[in-house]
């Protein structure tokens, strides 16, 4: 990393404004590698040099980590669990930087889980209005007929925590494997608690297996229990998807 002006480094670390940082340098409150620096034009490398302000070592600007995990069944999507069940944090112990799950997959669900320490992006993605598409592969008990699938496509009323009922946004559903317990691909733009399970229960079918295979621009491409870092392009696409809510509003539902 090229050397930068000291006042810029101090400001980027959130210690003080650039103007205030200049005053700190001139008054001898800043050290670089153990030496007091009072020259305003002085430069340093924030990656290599030890910079202290009032004796306190400067931490560089927050470096964000973005990870996609393939969550297996039997893990809860929390940082800790009072029942002492395994959590997704057990699977990402080798990730550089402490990351947190974005949204959640329940204990019995599998598949793609985004984890990051970028709080602003996580909040933007979890807002109900973000309209980030999530695609699941679902195995259901019994064969839902076309009328039931159409009902799900249009949106059904499901119970939220506390008993309040909400109507789901329109969903995309297609049959991918026929059978007594068929597999379906389901794409939704919301992320309500246990939403896909509740939708199928509402039309009389129990979900036996559920795996998330896509989250916005991210596709599931690591084995169960494994993770990988996102590429810069994937991070950029995710940010675009999260911001999409500000320009792309869901279509108005016609009055029934």
Catalytic residue positions, numbered: 106
What is the C-alpha separation between 208 and 205, in angstroms, rounded? 9
Q: Helix or strand or coil: residue 151?
A: helix
CA dihedral for 135, 192, 189, 126, sign (positive or negative): negative
| Token pair of 229 as six digits | 């870092």
Query: 165 pairs with which residues across the strands?
Result: 159
Question: What dihedral do alpha carbons 112, 118, 120, 121 form, nearest 10°?
Answer: -30
Name the pairing type of β-strands 183-188 and 207-215.
unpaired
CA dihedral for 200, 154, 217, 194, sign (positive or negative): negative
Those residues whose C-beta lies under 8 Å from the C-beta of residue 65, and which sit 6 or more positions away, are 95, 96, 97, 99, 116, 117, 118, 229
Q: Helix or strand or coil: residue 6?
A: helix
Count CB atoms within 10 A of the CB of residue 99.
Answer: 22
């Amino acid at each position: 990393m090229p050397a930068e002006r000291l006042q810029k480094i101090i400001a980027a670390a959130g210690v003080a404004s650039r103007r205030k940082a200049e005053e700190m340098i001139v008054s001898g409150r800043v050290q670089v590698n153990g030496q007091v620096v009072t020259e305003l034009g002085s430069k340093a490398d924030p990656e290599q040099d030890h910079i202290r302000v009032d004796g306190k070592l400067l931490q560089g600007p927050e470096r964000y980590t973005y990870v996609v995990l393939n969550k297996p069944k039997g893990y809860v999507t929390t940082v800790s669990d009072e029942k002492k069940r395994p959590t997704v944090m057990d699977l990402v112990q080798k990730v550089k930087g402490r990351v947190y799950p974005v949204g959640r997959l329940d204990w019995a669900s599998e598949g793609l889980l985004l984890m990051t320490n970028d709080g602003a992006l996580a909040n933007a993605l979890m807002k109900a209005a973000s309209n980030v598409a999530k695609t699941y592969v679902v195995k259901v008990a019994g064969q839902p007929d076309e009328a039931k699938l159409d009902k799900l496509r249009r949106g059904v009323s499901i119970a939220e925590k506390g008993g309040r009922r909400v109507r789901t946004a329109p969903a995309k559903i297609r049959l991918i494997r026929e059978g007594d317990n068929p597999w379906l691909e389901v794409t939704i733009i919301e992320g309500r608690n246990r939403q896909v399970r509740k939708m199928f229960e509402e039309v009389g079918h129990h979900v036996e297996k559920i795996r998330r295979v896509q989250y916005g621009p991210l596709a599931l491409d690591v084995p169960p229990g494994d993770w990988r870092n996102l590429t810069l392009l994937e991070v950029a696409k995710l940010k675009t998807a999260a911001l999409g809510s500000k320009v792309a509003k869901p279509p108005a539902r016609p009055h029934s």
